[in-house]
A and B are shown apart, each in its own frame.
Chain A
Amino acid sequence: MIAEAGHYALVLALALALIQSTVPMLGARWGDPALMNVARSTALAQLLFVAASFTALVMLHVASDFSVVNVFENSHSMKPLLYKITGVWGNHEGSMLLWVAILALFGGLVAAFGNNLPLSLRAHVLAVQGWIAAAFYLFILLTSNPFLRIASPPIEGRDLNPVLQDIGLAVHPPMLYLGYVGFSISFSFAIAALIEGRIDAAWARWVRPWTLVAWIFLTLGIAMGSYWAYYELGWGGWWFWDPVENASLMPWLAGTALLHSAVVMEKRNALKVWTILLSILAFSLSLLGTFLVRSGVLTSVHAFATDPSRGVFILLILCLFIGGSLTLYAWRAPALKQGGLFAPVSREGALVLNNLFLTSACATVFIGTLYPLALEVLTGDKISVGAPFFNLTFGPLFVPLLVAMPFAPLLAWKRGDLLGAAQRLTAAGIAALVAIAVLFAWTHGGATLAPLAIGLAIFVIGGALSDLAERTALFRVPFATAMARARGLPRATWGTAFAHAGIGVALIGIVCETTWNSEYIGTMKPRDIASVAGYQLKLDDITQRQGPNFREMIAQFTVSHDGETLEVMTPSKRNFTTRDSSTTEAALLTRGASQLYVSLGDTNAEGAIAVRIYHKPLVLLIWWGPVLMAFGGLLSLSDRRLRVGAPKPAKAARALQPAE
């Protein structure tokens, strides 16, 4: 009954989406406010029905109703409640339902909070949202229905893939989807602007908060996924340049570029056409990501689906939306008026440079991800493009970006003074040089690139701090005055500083982890001692334990450093009987920002166990950086300018209308 209700709610949502995608368009054409307002109510009703449908699936999973195929294939009655809920999106059908639910959520938010938008713009935006929603509802209903029943229900389910039975699944996919799907809003705004043939600074001001929200979630989602892979896969890697990871990185790069170009458009009314293109690209890349992950064209960490009919359907959606939007762009973009002028050396110029490097970096990731697929289709040759490719392309493109980054906030709009900016960055530059010199002396004869990269990171962080110091006139005026100035600074300025510093922090973590990580791989028997990076790990005991839906072998290690006992670490290996598969649960010991990482392998005939121990210096900075960046985004989002919203010329017009 619940399954049928959920299915029916989804069909109704499709019907609503179809209305939402047509009626408001006609309303905007005929200038009929009543028809345009249909968009608002349908968007809200659609959200209601999708939410009902999603709740139905959650209830089925929680109740372990194995008469539903989706529950049977991905759940088990003994599974802990948390994983019963998160298991809803731990499979193809459920995750697509989550996708459309989030899409409807964003549509509903625009409908609910878009009161200050011009009526026709809101109608167009919601209509475009309706097209996207309709396409994906059709996809779910035709090829990936999560509510299908089994004629003769089995007693027990097949259980969720053990790797996914982790708290990471509760956080990572929803975050990532909030990011992916969030870009649909800027896409819809871009299409609406193209249809209306009108775009101005106010448009950018409406788009920016939505882009920022999507970007914050995508940043956190990617970081969370990376940390999850790090502790769950059991060998301490945190980024694999796996196609699925690249699929999330590409929209992030395009979205970051979009955030920056939207600033130029809002402040200076320039780069309009480019901002529109980036809005289209960011969401197109999100769609591409959905296609790569959901169609099963990749052999990869996250590919759950292998049914080609789905692949073809998503490919159709992809071609329709990307092709359609780019055609519309080619047709209408030349009609948009050109914006303000600026010199190459200026804030605008710096932001253009940022956009250039970000989009180029995005393009290299795109090539590296899709080239193997294209080559296989064209010639049948199978190749793999791995980390070395991306290190050789993505890395060099990010270096100039990071060098230029501290300069940009110090340049004036329209015409900047590069020399002046350089002078104000002297302190940051000196700090970077000192760091490089100290590291060279300290590591003497070790890696040459690492100290330089850390110097660059210090320069980036120092640059962000210099910008703040400059704006508050710290060290030039009395401290109290500087503090008062700091309170008066726009939140967006603080946001920029945090986000930029976050990049530097992450870079330090990346460099330290990859350069100075030390490891021990070997077999150990009880009472053996392994030493890694000054830590001694003594294997005390190996015990067995029964979990809710698995058996677990736990090894207990006592960790000591310089003869002082620190803590007990208990990595384990879980064996899931239903799927006859096992997972490795690594144990982590955090010391400051560094971590000690222990994971287990197989036991051999003599009772010795294979053990992997890593010491990862400053590894946590890799994820603290993105958290800082997201925090910066949040600060920027709370900026008064965005809360107050764009000026509302529509209000005056409305006041003149006669009362009905």
Chain B
Amino acid sequence: MTRKQRRLTMICGSLAVLAVAAALVLNAMRDSIVFFSTPTMAAEKQIPPGKRFRLGGLVQPGSLVRGDNLAVNFSIADGSATLPVAYKGMLPDLFREGQGVVAEGALDASGVFKADTVLAKHDETYMPRDVADALKKQGHWKDDYGAKPGATAASAPVQGTAK
């Protein structure tokens, strides 16, 4: 093989691998990306049952009901809409009523959000950023939701997962 042919082989090989990588990325982008919504946005967009998304907001005070064998029901609210959530498994350490949470899952036929993951951050002053942004946008932001000035050490989210 001449130098030129060898280089051509290399370039073609590289392009082939890159094309495969690009195809994989595009394919994965189509199937495995999860959007974030608040209850209001979920109602507006009319997300069909079974489509996975992340639901963020505040845990509605008084809505938390613990059932048998770690089944939990609560509502996520964003000030103008609420959405009931069902979850089975252990809640994160600092999951509390009135605190911000993000749940991942899908709506079922009856309009209940079946969560398989619940994220809450591990700090009494913490508000998930997505939730804070969404609340600010809708004008429901209160300053005392935010972190105390100076206490910027937001900490690890603790994740509850049920399989």
Contacts and interface: CB of A to CB of B under 8 A. Distances in A.
A349 B33 CA distance: 36
A521 B147 contact: no
A383 B36 contact: yes
A368 B69 CA distance: 36
A422 interface: no
B159 A235 contact: yes
B3 interface: yes
A384 B25 contact: no
B27 A363 contact: no
Contacts of A357: 17
A580 B35 contact: no
Contacts of B123: 161, 579, 581
B153 A392 contact: no
B28 A388 contact: yes
A92 B28 contact: no
B94 A582 contact: yes
Interface in A83-109: 91-92
A604 B150 CA distance: 35
A566 B35 CA distance: 47
A235 B152 CA distance: 26
A344 interface: yes
A180 to B, nearest CB: 20
A344 B9 contact: yes
B6 A343 contact: yes
B31 A388 contact: yes
Given A73-B150, A163-B122, A352-B10, A386 B34 contact: yes
Nearest to B69: A522
B33 A299 contact: no
B97 to A, nearest CB: 13
A523 B28 contact: no
B54 interface: yes
B54 A384 contact: yes
Interface string A581-622: 111100000000000000001101000001010000000000
B55 to A, nearest CB: 12
A445 B86 CA distance: 32
B85 to A, nearest CB: 17
Interface bin, chain A: 35 or more
A601 B6 CA distance: 61
13 contacts: A73-B153, A161-B156, A234-B158, A237-B161, A341-B6, A383-B35, A384-B33, A388-B32, A396-B20, A397-B20, A582-B93, A583-B122, A604-B66
Given A163-B155, A364-B21, A393-B24, 17 more contacts: A73-B151, A74-B153, A233-B156, A233-B159, A234-B158, A303-B154, A304-B154, A306-B152, A343-B1, A344-B9, A360-B20, A388-B28, A397-B21, A523-B70, A584-B158, A602-B91, A610-B70
A381 interface: yes
B14 interface: yes
Contacts of B156: 161, 163, 233, 301-302
Interface in B73-99: 89-91, 93-94
Interface of B: 1, 3, 6, 9-10, 13-14, 17-18, 20-21, 24-25, 27-29, 31-36, 54, 66, 69-70, 89-91, 93-94, 104, 122-124, 128-130, 133, 147, 150-163
Contacts of B36: 382-384
A367 interface: yes
Given A301-B157, A356-B17, A581-B123, A396 B32 contact: no
A344 B3 CA distance: 11
A77 to B, nearest CB: 18
B13 A344 contact: yes
A551 interface: no
A356 B13 CA distance: 9
Nearest to B33: A383
A519 interface: yes
Contacts of A342: 6
Given A161-B155, A382-B130, A393 B25 contact: yes
A104 B130 CA distance: 38
Nearest to A163: B156
Nearest to B137: A380
A73 B128 CA distance: 21
A601 B17 contact: no
Contacts of B66: 604
A431 interface: no
B35 to A, nearest CB: 5
A396 B25 CA distance: 11
Nearest to B54: A384
A397 B28 CA distance: 13
Contacts of A73: 150-151, 153
A158 interface: yes
Contacts of B129: 299
A101 to B, nearest CB: 21
A350 to B, nearest CB: 12
Contacts of B13: 344, 352-353, 356
Contacts of A161: 122-123, 153, 155-156
Nearest to A306: B152
A345 to B, nearest CB: 10
Contacts of B158: 233-234, 584
Q: Identify which of B34, B104, B130 gathers the most chain A CB atoms within 10 Å of its CB.
A: B34
B102 to A, nearest CB: 9
Contact of A364 (B6, B25, B93, B151): B25
